[in-house]
Amino acid sequence: MADKVLTANRLSDGISVWLDAAGNWVESLQDAFVARHAEAVSALETTGKTAFADNKVVDVNVIDIEEVDGVLRPLRLRERIRAEGPTIDYATGYKGLSGPDQAA
């Protein structure tokens, strides 16, 4: 069985998140809790269903990963791009969000 992590998109802003060992949704795959056996995977699935039902996250999925030299790496390219962001220099000159709404 491949190692697995739980991923989703945060409801409020849609940003990709992963579940950590403390039960928090974090923005870095590297901080995710890794399930290495069937019971742990089952726990992830239950947590995912609950989080979805609690309206914290959407598009919840358990995904396959591998650990290479201590770095977590999804097996599918799709999930690698979700974890690392677009593979292109998409926003040359991007200086971060501005304006009062984002400052808070």
Partner 1 sequence: MYRYDEFDHAFVSDRVEQFRDQVTRRLSGELAEDAFKPLRLMNGVYLQLHAYMLRVAIPYGTLNSRQMRMLAHIARKYDRGYGHFTTRQNIQYNWPSLSDTPDILAELASVEMHALQTSGNCIRNVTADHFAGAAADEVADPRPYAEILRQWSSVHPEFSFLPRKFKIAVTGAERDRAAIQVHDIGLHLKKNEAGEIGFAVYVGGGQGRTPMIAKKIKDFLPEADLLSYTTAIMRVYNLHGRRDNKYKARIKILVHETGVEELSGQIEQEFLQLKNTELKLPEADIQAITTYFALPELTERPEGWANLAGWKKADPDFARWVHQNVQPHKNPDYGMVTISLKPIGGIPGDATDVQMDAIADLAEEYAFDEIRISHEQNVIFPHVALADLEAVYRGLVSIGLATANAGLITDIIACPGLDYCALANARSIPVSQEISTRFGDPARQAEIGELKIKISGCINACGHHHVGHIGLLGVEKKGAELYQITLGGSGDENTSIGEIIGRGFEPEKVTDAIETIVDTYLGLRLDPGEKFLDAYRRVGPQPFKDALYGNGAQAAA
Q: What Rg, from alpha-carbon coordinates, does the chain have?
A: 15
DSSP symbol at 25: E
Nearest-approach distance from CB 88 to partner 1, in angstroms: 5
Instruction: Using the minimum distance from each CB to partner 1, give the nearer residue, 13 or 69.
Output: 13
3 state DSSP class of 16:
strand
Which residue, 6, 36, 28, is CA-closest to 19? 6
Instruction: Using the minimum distance from each CB to partner 1, give the nearer residue, 37 or 78.
Output: 78
Nearest-approach distance from CB 99 to partner 1, in angstroms: 5
Instruction: Using the minimum distance from each CB to partner 1, give the nearer residue, 28 or 37.
Output: 28
**Footprint on this chain of partner 1 (rule: CB under 8 A):** 9, 11-16, 52, 54-55, 58-59, 75-78, 81-82, 85-88, 90-95, 97-99, 101-102
Distance between CA 2 and CA 68 in Å, rounded? Answer: 13
